[in-house]
Amino acid sequence: MVSTAGPRTGPSSAVNVSAPRVRPRVDGTLTAARRTGAGTPIRDVMTAFPRPRERRAGELVQHPAPEPTPTTQADPAAPQGRFARTLRSRWLLGGLVALTATAVAGTTVAYASMSTTVALSVDGEQREVTALASTVGDVLEAEGVEVGPRDIVAPSADEEIEEGTAITVRYARQLDLVVDGEEETHWVTATSVSDALAQVGTDYRGSDLSTSRSMTIGRDGASLRVVTPKKLTLALAGEKPVTKQLTALRVSDALEQMKVDVDKTDEVSPKPGRVLEDGDKIVFTDVRVATERDRDQVIEAGTTQRDDPDALEGETSTVRAAQDGVRDVTYRVVFRNGEEASRKVVTSSVVREPVTGIVAVGTRVPEPEPEPEPAPAAPTSNFAGGSTVWDQLAQCESGGNWAINTGNGYYGGLQFNLGTWQSYGGTGLPSSNSRETQIAVAERLRAATGGYGSWPSCSSSLGLPQ
């Protein structure tokens, strides 16, 4: 026990330093307290030591008269001179050292009796600290541990401590989440990604994270991107739609996971950059653009008609045959899901021009058939004869009767039909014309056809050229 004594100026002339413990109080004073009793402010304890009286203004300082030094007879055996002074200095030094050691020992004992040892855990790092403190907040201040309003301190900062108290500090960290494109901010005390997500309220199981779940989160916090799984319907390149659960943020991510290569000509709905939502439907149309060339494309030749006043109405004849042309053409062809959707001419050049055909169309209106002549009272016959080839044909065709009209549509000795008769200059009915007129028309017909082919049977039997 270390005791300090002084002049008696108060109720106590001695202070037992080792008995009480001194703790810092919130009000800034030191309290000497026993573990089992109430404390006494240290400022009250210090009144046991008197202060020097203050000198009044103008008061002279009076020094006490020096006491007379007793005169003693020198001991012949005592040390003398310089040796005596050295020995006294050593005795004085030894005394000072002893006094200093005593003071230090007293201070150490006093500190040990006033301090408290606690277990401090800061973000999981454990250490044992000893401090002159009475509350949790005092310990943290003594250890330089600064806490904010979002940090967790247990027990609370104003709780009193005792020997062995366990103090836990968990720093708050800002966790910035981007979940499927939506930004969120949370404050957590966890030091790993997995624990932080648990504190947020969901661990996003099955989701894709931008970093490992075991990554440590420092005091500066962390930023994390999360992509959640989504149920999607996909219709790809005309195939039957399928339903898949994909962990994709955007439409393009889902197509990539389905191993669909999207070219700039392809069509995607919704747009590839749109953020997906659960239940979305994606339609991919495979659009392919190709170039095709046809070097021998046919240019169909047209036909024009030309009036022919010499031909009977309705009769046609070819004046010039039509001839198709050739064209070299390049196309831009668009295919959608493998089927041709459009074709457009890019370049075209004519290799051979087409030739337009010409057809002559008769415009001459035939003369109306004459009124049938009244039947003669008696059959009239014209058997005018001769020895010409025409007479031989008439004999074969009509029995040589140039006026015959049986009503079968053929008239006269050479049996003309009315259309042929009129085409070669005949008028009226052949049977009403003379032998000579009928032969003249027959001559024109033979000249036009090059023979007697208009009377095939009889000319053959007579051996005439066709």
Q: Tens digits of per-residue pLDDT, 91-106?
A: 555 555 454 444 444 4
Are 185 and 237 found together in one domain?
no
> Is 262 a member of any domain?
yes
Are 185 and 142 found together in one domain?
no
> Is 394 a member of any domain?
yes
60-69, 281-290, 364-373: least confidently modelled range: 60-69
Pick from 31-40, 66-75, 186-195 the range whose average pLDDT is largest: 186-195
pLDDT bracket for residue 36 (50, 70, 90):
very low
Give the end of a domain, one of 227, 242, 264. 227
pLDDT bracket for residue 386 (50, 70, 90):
low
Per-residue pLDDT at 28 exceeds 80: no
**Domain containing residue 161: CATH number:** 3.10.20
Are 190 and 220 found together in one domain?
yes
Per-residue pLDDT at 378 exceeds 80: no
Are 301 and 330 found together in one domain?
yes
> Is 384 a member of any domain?
no
**Domain containing residue 299: CATH number:** 2.20.230.10
Are 294 and 360 found together in one domain?
yes
Q: Tens digits of per-residue pLDDT, 260-278?
A: 999 999 999 999 999 999 9
> Is 105 a member of any domain?
no
Are 345 and 395 found together in one domain?
no
Total number of domains in the chain: 5
**Domain containing residue 449: CATH number:** 1.10.530.10
> Is 41 a member of any domain?
no
Give the end of a domain, one of 129, 155, 170. 170
Residue 239 structural domain: 230-285
Give the end of a domain, one of 258, 285, 312. 285
Are 254 and 320 found together in one domain?
no
Average pLDDT of the chain to the nearest whole number? 79
> Is 76 a member of any domain?
no
Query: Locate tokens 């300082």: which residue?
Result: 61
> Is 220 a member of any domain?
yes
Q: Tens digits of per-residue pLDDT, 159-168?
A: 999 998 999 9
